[in-house]
Structure 1
Amino acid sequence: MHTLWKGSISFGLVNVPVKMHAATESQEFKFNYLHKDCQQRIRSIKKCPHCDQEVDMADLVKGYEYEKDRYVVLSDEDLASVEQPMSRSIDILDFIDLEEIDPIYYEKSYYLSPEETALKAYRLLSQAMEESGKVALARVTMRSKQHLACLRVFEQGLVMETMHYPKEIRHMDVVWDRVVPTETELTMARQLIDNLARPFEPEKYHDELHEQMAQLIESRVAGENFKVVAPSKGGQVVDLMEALRASIAQTEQEKGKLETKNAVKDKVKVKEKVKVQDKTKDKEVEAIATEEANGEKPKSTLTPRKRTTRRAKGA
């Protein structure tokens, strides 16, 4: 993986040199604008509407619009005076429970891999965090911006999530809290949720739009036609109770099919396990018979008991 940043994780007096890599990547298709007549790519031109002329990058300055059509211009020196220097340290501030952080705070994920000289320290930190069930809140500066971050264990390594600050989180204007569902409606809604509850299996979810776009592009490159089948629309909810009942009936049927499917899988797994155990047992019997035929005692499968300190001293 490409290294984006090099630095270290520091907490207390411990310093762990690490490298940072992007943990996710965009799968979006990127399109270019072409001239319809000649199919040539259109270039972006920066043009001043007041002077009616094209402007080079060297002639651009940064301005902040503090009122409508009124700007304050800031030079590169002005911006450099408040920008923080590029930090090479991920400073851990606190260790907290992961459940205390709402996902709305997360921004982007980065993998942190250890430098060759820090393999043991890296492993020590990740294993200690995993066993304690804690994640680390940290502060790091990247691209002249100071980020709040969360360090957590993922796939036996460390991943860093940059986070939004509380001031960056917008709050909803709640107007529906005055609506009170009946106990019957709540009971049926809970039952529907229970019927739809599944273990998290990330591999079963995929981007259907991305797949259709790929098929569309491939068909156009090959000069073929491609037609997307429109998904069936769900019925409009007229009566909430009727919709809940119909949904529960449907999910009960699907849940029964899933349970039957899982039961079949479990039976297959049990049969395979029994076969393996039988093969192992046959091999053990065969080995014992061979050793006895050769006049040798079979090796014990018992684990030796640990000697106590007192017996060890007297030995």
Structure 2
Amino acid sequence: MHTMWKGAISFGLVNIPVKLYAATEDKDIKMRYLHKECHTPIKYERRCPECDKALESEDIVRGYEYEDGKYVIMEKNEIEELAGEQNKSVEIVDFVELTDIDPIYFNRSYFIGPNENESKPYMLLKQAMEESGRIGLAKITIRSKEHLAAVRVYEKGLMLETMYFPDEVRDFSNVPDIPSELKVSTKEKKLAKQLIEHLTTKFEPTQYKDERREAILALIESKISGNEIKVVEEKPKRKVGDLMDALQASLDTGAASKAPQKKKAPSRKKKVAK
């Protein structure tokens, strides 16, 4: 597994050298844009519209637009120097309960592995956190951006979850058309709760698959092999009159799909009297 960050976890005066590894991967199907006539991949060129010429990487700098059309230039080394030594440190500032953090704050997951010959302090932190039931709230700088982060126990080791800062989470009050108060009938609420109970199950991640990706891969394979492409027709959705009908229909359909199938009794041949 590729190491994407090296540094240390620090809390108090304790310093534990660690490495970060990407814990997830994007399995979205990547497609290239081609020229329709000859199927040649299209190239995108970095070009300055003012000077009307193509640019190389060394010709490009970063700038912050503080007024319309006015920029202050920011050099890469200036930004890196601002981070200082924190660039290579996961500084745990607090220990909190995982349930205190709303999932909206979580961004991306990384496995934390111990550095060479540093397994003991790593396992000490892991076991102490496991027994205390707490997670570490930390700060880390990755690729010149500072993140809030959660350090927690995961399976046999530790995991780091980068988080959004509070000012990066939008205010829900900006969502339009949310009713302040809307009465629902007791019957509607009862049916909704029954439907929730009926669909409640234990979370088993292997049960869930990206059906769209699998369908696209099957289509690609069919095109490569030259087989006839079969398009699965979408099942017509059942029309329901109102909310009560929809809830009841959902319960009826769900009950039928989850009901155990009865085994057919073995057929008995009638004895023919001699």
- TM-score interval, normalised by the smaller of the two chains: 0.7 to 0.9
Cα distance change of structure 1 residues 223 and 67 upon mapping to structure 2, 3 Å threshold: farther
Aligned to 2:83: 84
How far does the alpha carbon of each residue in 1:6-34 deviate from its partner, in whole angstroms, 9 at most, with x for none?
11111122222211100001101111222
Identify which of structures 1 and 2 has the higher relative contact order when contacts are C-alpha pairs closer than 8 Å and 6+ apart.
2
Report SS of the residue matched to 2:83.
Answer: coil
Aligned to 2:21: 21
If the length of structure 2 is used for normalisation, what is the TM-score? 0.85
Q: In the alignment, is the contact (CA less than 8 A) between 2:61 and 2:73 conserved in 1?
A: yes
Residue 58, structure 1, aligned to residue 61, structure 2: no
Cα distance change of structure 1 residues 91 and 77 upon mapping to structure 2, 3 Å threshold: closer
Quote the Cα distance in structure 1 between the aligned partners of 2:80 and 2:18. 29
Quote the Cα distance in structure 2 between the aligned partners of 1:202 and 1:88. 33
Aligned to 1:106: 106
Report SS of the residue matched to 1:84.
Answer: helix
Aligned to 2:144: 144
Q: In the alignment, is the contact (CA less than 8 A) between 1:11 and 1:91 conserved in 2?
A: yes
Quote the Cα distance in structure 2 between the aligned partners of 1:117 and 1:58. 40
Aligned to 1:231: 234
Cα distance change of structure 1 residues 123 and 78 upon mapping to structure 2, 3 Å threshold: closer
Q: 2:245 aligns with which of 242, 246, 262?
A: 242
How far does the alpha carbon of each residue in 1:57-82 deviate from its partner, in whole angstroms, 9 at most, with x for none?
333333333455x2313141784387
Report the more deviating stretch, 186-195 or 121-130.
Answer: 121-130
Q: In the alignment, is the contact (CA less than 8 A) between 1:215 and 1:226 conserved in 2?
A: no
Residue 189, structure 1, aligned to residue 192, structure 2: yes
Cα distance change of structure 1 residues 169 and 20 upon mapping to structure 2, 3 Å threshold: same
Unmatched runs of 5 consecutive residues or more in structure 1:
261-315
**What code does the residue aligned with 2:210 have?**
D
**What code does the residue aligned with 2:100 have?**
E
Q: In the alignment, is the contact (CA less than 8 A) between 1:20 and 1:113 conserved in 2?
A: yes
Q: In the alignment, is the contact (CA less than 8 A) between 2:66 and 2:72 conserved in 1?
A: no
Q: 1:208 aligns with which of 207, 211, 217?
A: 211
Structure with more of its chain in helix, by fraction: 1
Cα distance change of structure 1 residues 75 and 64 upon mapping to structure 2, 3 Å threshold: closer
Aligned to 2:72: 73
How far does the alpha carbon of each residue in 1:228-266 deviate from its partner, in whole angstroms, 9 at most, with x for none?
3143243344311111112122223344439x9xxxxxx
Aligned to 1:273: none
Cα distance change of structure 1 residues 52 and 204 upon mapping to structure 2, 3 Å threshold: same
Unmatched runs of 5 consecutive residues or more in structure 2:
263-274
Quote the Cα distance in structure 2 between the aligned partners of 1:142 and 1:46. 26
**Percent of pairs identical after alignment?**
45
Aligned to 1:31: 31
Quote the Cα distance in structure 1 between the aligned partners of 2:115 and 2:129. 19
Cα distance change of structure 1 residues 244 and 115 upon mapping to structure 2, 3 Å threshold: same
If the length of structure 1 is used for normalisation, what is the TM-score? 0.75
**What code does the residue aligned with 2:191 have?**
M
Cα distance change of structure 1 residues 233 and 102 upon mapping to structure 2, 3 Å threshold: farther
